[in-house]
Each structure stands twice: as structure tokens, then as C-alpha cells.
Amino acid sequence: MSRDSLILACPACDSLNRVPAERLGEAPNCGKCHSPLFQQRPIALDQNNFEIHSGRADLPLLVDFWAPWCGPCRAMAPAFEEAARLLEPGVRLAKVNTEDEQSLAARFGIRSIPTLVLFRGGREVARQAGAMNAAGIVQWVRAQAH
């Protein structure tokens, strides 16, 4: 990310914010709702806000496609939370509940859960099925960086 400023989607109100790249680590707040733009935890995405966070914001987006009935998904949840603390502000982490958002799961061909999908500029760049620990998630995401 060599740009001078980045467009970030607010995890609270989904507003787009322009933030100077050098200020990413300074806990910037949303210009509209004043919530922190980084909350060091995954955000919940649905059909209504998925495009804003995946395609209109400049940060890479790592999405955990999961379901509440899935044991491995529940087991991986704390590791995904920890990965958010380790990867922000360079990567946004989000969760999509495939039970509630079946159209998103179908759109991305999610066949097993948990499945992690990394998006850049609205396009899928990498995918990993199966539960991972926090270190594995961080290592996998960083290996995808070009």
C-alpha cells in the first residue's frame, strides 16, 4: 500500500473514511459516527455491507465463513479474534454467518466451514478451508502478501 491515504470502511456504521496511510496506527475514528475504525476484533458482515468492506475499502479483507452449529468454527473463533489483534491495521478481519447469509455463501462457493477467504479490491485472492490457530492464520495471511 504505497498510497498517501487509504479508504477505510467503518465497522460501526459502514461509512467510508479517507485516512492518511501514516496515521493507520494512530487509532483513527470514523468521521461520521466517531467510532474507532479499528476495534481489534472481527466485524460481522452481511449482504448489506459486504461490498462496502470487500470492494470499496482499500484494506485487504479476511473473511471467516462460519456457522453457529459448526464445532470447528466455534473452536477457531478465539484464534480468529486473536488474529484480528495481530493483523490490524494492515488487514480487516470479518465473519460471515453462512446460516444467516446463505446468498453470500453460495456466491463464493463455500462448500465447507470454516473457510477463510482473503479479498483485495473486491476480488478473492486466496482461500483456506479448515480451522487454524491464530499463528497459522497470521502466517497464512502474511504469506499471501505480494
Alpha carbon distance 36, 30 (integer Å): 6
> Which residue, 64, 58, 62, is CA-closest to 121?
58
Alpha carbon distance 43, 61 (integer Å): 11
Q: Residue 73 catalytic?
A: yes
Alpha carbon distance 98, 81 (integer Å): 18
The helix/strand count (H/E) of the chain reads as 4, 7
Q: Which of 10, 13, 30, 73 is catalytic?
A: 73
Q: Residue 30 catalytic?
A: no
> Which residue, 114, 83, 76, is CA-closest to 98?
114
Q: Which of 10, 13, 30, 70 is catalytic?
A: 70
Catalytic residues: 70, 73
